[in-house]
Amino acid sequence: MTSRIEVEVGAPAHGGHCVARYDGRAVFVRHALPGERVIVEVADDAPDARFWRGDTIEVLEASPDRVEHPWPEAAAGGIGGAELGHVSLPAQRRWKHAVLVEAFARFAGVPFAGQVNAAPGDDARGGLAYRTRVSATAGDDGRPTMTVPGTGERRSLVEMPLAVSGAETALLKARTEPGARIDVTATSTGEVVVTTTGREARRLWLHERVAYARGEVAYRVRASDFWQVHRAAPGVLVDAVMSRILPDGPVLDLYSGTGLLALPIARLGRPVVAVEAPDAGKAPPALAANLKARAEADAVGDDVRRYLTRSAPAREWDAATIVLDPPRSGAKARTIDAIAALGAPRIVYVACDPVALARDTALLRSHGYDLREADAFDLFPMTHHVETVASFDLR
């Protein structure tokens, strides 16, 4: 059953909503802001549920941080992908900061003392035109559609203002079989490709260039490969990681993707082992290609935990930095145990989920790793996502 309730909105919570209370129950409210009084439509108001979820359908008292959504199709009641579009850009960063502070206080056992930094160029572009990778699903007429969260309803896209302009144009023009996924990739070197099958994407080799504090580096990637979505993210993360690794010693780059972080580190002449999930039992082709010319770099195709428990113990890590950039769920206990067992003095953790990072921080601390510092980067404006880079030293 759906129902409408009036609530006063409280603090932001992890996941893109704020928490309100109604009749003693927590209600997770989308498209609202802290301090607002709103009418919420609750999707399923089961009386025995511990909490409810709802969307804002009317704002009775608006926050000074409320702005007009820059992508009306994705505003309240619309498609997903820009759930913070109603929040001013500085307030989006305060929102993400509050979520990090709360996550660290609850799960890490140490405070989050960093900032949420804007990506270069975002303020000038109003937090738009940043995505170099966008995806949609072809509707019945073959045009790109996106889903209204919680409903399964698909709507045809009329714009995609989060995408860089080449990617937006290519996405809106794309036509394919109903139900097929449409993936658009726009590289930093000006290539724009549309693929509709994984097979096609795996065959398409592209070129990326990343400028960072110490220079510029070129990569070859396939359209199917993981690559940081924000146009500025590769450079921001390379700098954030390079400034945190120890000045000497080998670097173990776990969850290394195509070698975004491993390649500039190898260019310093540092020994690097980059571990990424295997492709046909071997190092993935882009990782192997990017590290090929670096005698001091080793591209490994293996499951991270398997590598840590079976292969890594054969080498010396007692002067090493371990870099890890795991998927959203984090590294979790058994992988953190295996990382800690290597005894490296420094760990640099790149995280796209504040709660997963906070939980892994607690695990690292239990293994004797103190949090040195953590800082966050707003690499997903208009959404609740935030990237954090944290470093740890062995006590």
Residues annotated as catalytic (active site), given as ranges: 352
Residue 307, annotated ligand binder?
no
Minimum distance from residue 242 beta carbon to ligand SAM (Å): 13
Minimum distance from residue 305 beta carbon to ligand SAM (Å): 6
Minimum distance from residue 147 beta carbon to ligand SAM (Å): 23
Q: Which position among 34, 127, 257, 285 is part of the footprint of ligand SAM (CB under 6 A)? A: 257
* 101 touching ligand SAM, by CB under 6 A: no
Closer to ligand SAM at the Cβ: 188 or 256? 256
* 261 touching ligand SAM, by CB under 6 A: yes
Closer to ligand SAM at the Cβ: 217 or 261? 261
For residue 378, count CB atoms less than 10 angstroms from its CB and return exposed for 0-12, middle for 13-18, buried for 19 or more: buried
Check if the beta carbon of residue 176 is closer than 8 Å to that of residue 150: no
Check if the beta carbon of residue 395 is closer than 8 Å to that of residue 135: no
Residue 276, annotated ligand binder?
yes
* 256 touching ligand SAM, by CB under 6 A: yes
* 325 touching ligand SAM, by CB under 6 A: yes
Residue 325, annotated ligand binder?
yes
Residue with tokens 């292969």: 311
Closest C-alpha to 340, from 353, 331, 352, 351: 331
Check if the beta carbon of residue 374 is closer than 8 Å to that of residue 388: yes
Q: Which of residues 195-234 bind ligand SAM (CB under 6 A)?
A: 226, 228
What type of residue is 314?
A
* 349 touching ligand SAM, by CB under 6 A: no
Q: Which position among 27, 182, 260, 338 is part of the footprint of ligand SAM (CB under 6 A)? A: 260
Residues 6+ apart with CB under 8 A from 158: 73, 172
Residue 228, annotated ligand binder?
yes
Check if the beta carbon of residue 305 is closer than 8 Å to that of residue 341: no
Closest C-alpha to 322, from 295, 298, 340: 340
Q: CA 380 → CA 83, 99, 129, 174, distances in Å?
A: 11, 15, 11, 24
Check if the beta carbon of residue 260 is closer than 8 Å to that of residue 254: no
Minimum distance from residue 325 beta carbon to ligand SAM (Å): 4
Write the DSSP symbol of residue 148. Answer: P
Torsion angles phi and psi, residue 290, rounded to 5: -70, -30
**Residue 303 CA neighbour count, 13 Å, CB half:** 8
Closer to ligand SAM at the Cβ: 130 or 255? 255
**Structure tokens of 179?**
């139900």
Q: What mask of x and - would describe binding to ligand SAM in positions 266 to 305, judged by CB under 6 A?
A: ----------xx-------------------------xx-
* Chain residue at closest Cβ approach to ligand SAM: 257
Residues of this chain that bind ligand SAM (CB under 6 A): 226, 228, 237, 255-257, 260-261, 276-277, 303-304, 325, 327
State the binding site for S-adenosyl-L-methionine. Answer: 228, 255, 276, 325
State the binding site. Answer: 228, 255, 276, 325
